[in-house]
């Protein structure tokens, strides 16, 4: 029985692919190793979204290659977006890699590994746009904490954003059937999962391609009826498809946390048009007003790209003012990455890297002041918190998250008091920092209890 070790890079959507790979491999008789040194097969599931992600992936492959050379017979697999995007080139540049699998064929990995047991048989690269939609009974080894899971509801993207390579890697948008998703959530809930983070390249387009058509709002209503589902979170809501029906459903269903992740990318009209995003900053203002009107106390997370070609100082200043005006609870800022085979790659007026970095730092400073004020509103409140793990070595010290804190991308709540991982507790907030909160346990929350406040 060979042991495998998998390193998953990139986004949660890639993580789900990694978990499906592990499911396929363990189902075929492979065993998961806790460290790469113990494994006979090393797998790097890569990201190729932006230049920094590609560099991280290449560095990880080279490190795995060094480990491979230390143990005769050890094999190296490169999977995911980097293989899908640059498969043929990588095969020439990285002869130490035994198998390449892309985003559309990774479930074939057990068979490909068997074929490469003969030295002359090297796995083929798979280029082009492709994806796999998980089925509810497809074996999957979850790597997230036992109480929280990502659920991929669709794959691919039909938008043509000028800066984005994802449609050319993952392909056209394709939704899973609602019944399949409900079955998967029911199965995960039966294993103790209480928080379900719905993910997709374009979450709000869910169901539009199905016949008969479905909708994200309809899916949420079905998922809310599944027993033991406590939190449902929406990650990456494309602005165009945020309907009143969806907002009203979020507001009405207690299982759906009042949290919307809606990347806006910019707020200058000319830059938005060059990005092939929304029509104008005013359209975004109207959207934000509608979200906050229909979902009281909603937590809004967004992200922006600075340094897009043609972004002038005046355009950047308009973005800064938009952020000050909009008062986002959570925000990420990325510097524009010039990616070949995208529309923006050949645009004139490319912004120097030092200017991009300076603009990102300035915008994050602006947001830090806003985030601190938003957090300080919760001092003195009692808030529902999902306990994640112990904090340090002291007893009765824990870390957790509110409904308004998504896993891994938002802040934490540091808790004093008796608690257990995976438990929902009511926490009195004593102190607030820019991104994190501190408080003490008031009492545990039964699965049937709900708080009005979603921090």
Domain range list for the chain: 3-115, 148-376, 382-444
Which CATH architecture describes the domain 382-444? Beta Barrel (2.40)
Instruction: Report the relative pairing of strands 41-46 and 330-335 from DSSP bridges.
Output: unpaired
Helix residue spans in 265-418 (DSSP H): 269-275, 281-294, 313-326, 353-376
Which CATH architecture describes the domain 3-115? 3-Layer(aba) Sandwich (3.40)
- Sign of the torsion angle spanned by Cα atoms 370, 371, 373, 378: positive
> Which mean pLDDT values do the consecutive 10-residue runs of the chain (455 residues) have?
94 95 95 94 94 94 94 92 89 90 92 68 66 88 95 95 93 96 96 96 95 96 97 93 96 97 96 92 96 96 97 98 97 96 94 98 98 96 95 88 95 94 96 96 69 38
- Sign of the torsion angle spanned by Cα atoms 374, 377, 383, 387: positive
Phi, psi for residue 394 in degrees, rounded to 5:
-75, 140
Q: For residue 357, what are the CA distances in angstroms to 70, 188, 212, 335, 347? A: 39, 41, 47, 7, 20
Assess contact for 74 and 40: CB atoms under 8 A: yes
CATH code 3.80.30.20 for 148-376: yes
Instruction: Identify the pLDDT of residue 240.
Output: 86
Instruction: Identify the pLDDT of residue 454.
Output: 37
The enclosing H or E element of 42 equals: strand 41-46
Give residue 13's Cα distance to chain centre. Answer: 6
Please write down the HEC assignment for all residues of 199-242: ECCCHHHCCCCCCCCCCHHHHHHHHHCCCCCCEEEECCCCHHHC
Instruction: Identify the pLDDT of residue 136.
Output: 79
Assess contact for 203 and 153: CB atoms under 8 A: yes
2: left (phi over 0), alpha (psi -120 to 50) or beta: beta
pLDDT tens string 333-347? 999 999 999 999 999
* Residue written as token pair 């007003």: 289
Instruction: Identify the pLDDT of residue 122.
Output: 54
Please classify residue 209 by burial: count the beta carbons closer than 10 Å to its beta carbon, then call 0-12 exposed, 13-18 middle and 19+ buried: middle
The pLDDT > 70 percentage for the chain reads 95
How many angstroms separate the CA atoms of 269 and 158, rounded?
A: 22
Contacts (Cβ under 8 Å, ≥6 apart) of 292: 298, 300
Instruction: Identify the pLDDT of residue 124.
Output: 60
Instruction: Identify the pLDDT of residue 450.
Output: 45
Evaluate the omega torsion of the peptide bond into residue 212 and state whether it is cis, within 30 degrees of 0.
yes
Question: Whole-prediction pTM value?
Answer: 0.93
pLDDT tens string 262-313? 999 999 999 999 999 987 999 999 999 999 999 999 999 999 999 999 999 9
């Amino acid at each position: 029985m060979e042991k495998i070790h998998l390193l998953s890079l990139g986004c949660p959507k890639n993580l789900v692919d990694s978990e499906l790979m592990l499911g396929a491999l363990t189902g075929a008789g492979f065993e998961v190793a806790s460290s790469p040194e113990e494994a006979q097969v090393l797998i790097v599931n890569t990201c190729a979204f932006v230049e920094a992600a590609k560099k991280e992936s290449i560095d990880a492959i080279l490190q795995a290659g060094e480990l491979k050379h230390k143990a005769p017979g050890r094999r190296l697999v490169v999977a995911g977006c980097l293989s899908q995007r640059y498969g043929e080139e990588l095969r020439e540049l990285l002869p130490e890699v035994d198998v390449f699998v892309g985003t559309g064929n990774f479930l074939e990995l057990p068979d490909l590994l068997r074929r490469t047991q003969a030295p002359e048989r090297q796995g083929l690269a798979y280029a082009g746009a492709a994806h796999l939609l998980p089925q509810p009974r497809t074996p999957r080894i979850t790597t997230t904490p036992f109480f929280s899971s990502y659920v991929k509801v669709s794959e691919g993207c039909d938008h043509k954003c000028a800066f984005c390579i994802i449609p050319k890697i993952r392909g056209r948008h394709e939704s899973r059937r609602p019944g399949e998703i409900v079955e998967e959530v029911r199965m995960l809930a039966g294993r103790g999962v209480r928080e379900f983070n719905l993910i997709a390249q374009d979450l709000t387009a869910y169901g539009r391609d199905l016949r008969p058509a479905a909708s994200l709002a309809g899916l949420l209503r079905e998922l809310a009826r599944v027993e033991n589902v406590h939190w449902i979170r929406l990650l990456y809501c494309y602005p165009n498809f945020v309907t009143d029906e969806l907002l009203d459903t979020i507001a009405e269903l207690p299982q759906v946390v009042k949290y919307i992740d809606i990347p806006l990318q910019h707020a200058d009209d000319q830059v938005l048009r060059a990005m092939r995003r929304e029509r104008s900053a005013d359209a975004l203002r109207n959207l934000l007003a509608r979200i906050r009107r229909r979902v009281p106390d909603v937590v809004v997370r967004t992200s922006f790209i600075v340094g897009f070609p043609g972004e002038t100082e005046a355009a950047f200043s308009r973005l800064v003012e938009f952020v000050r005006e909009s008062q986002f609870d959570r925000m990420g800022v990325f510097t524009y990455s010039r990616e070949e085979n995208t529309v923006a790659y050949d645009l004139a007026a490319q912004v120097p890297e030092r200017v991009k970095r300076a603009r990102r730092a300035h915008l994050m400073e602006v947001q830090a002041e806003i985030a601190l004020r938003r957090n300080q509103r919760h001092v003195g409140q009692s808030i529902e918190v999902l306990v994640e793990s112990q904090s340090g070595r002291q007893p009765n010290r824990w870390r957790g998250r509110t409904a308004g804190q998504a896993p891994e991308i938002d802040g934490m709540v540091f808790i004093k008091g008796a608690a257990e991982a995976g438990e929902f507790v009511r926490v009195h907030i004593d102190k607030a920092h820019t991104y994190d909160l501190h408080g003490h346990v008031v009492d545990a929350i039964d699965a049937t209890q709900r708080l009005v406040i979603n921090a």
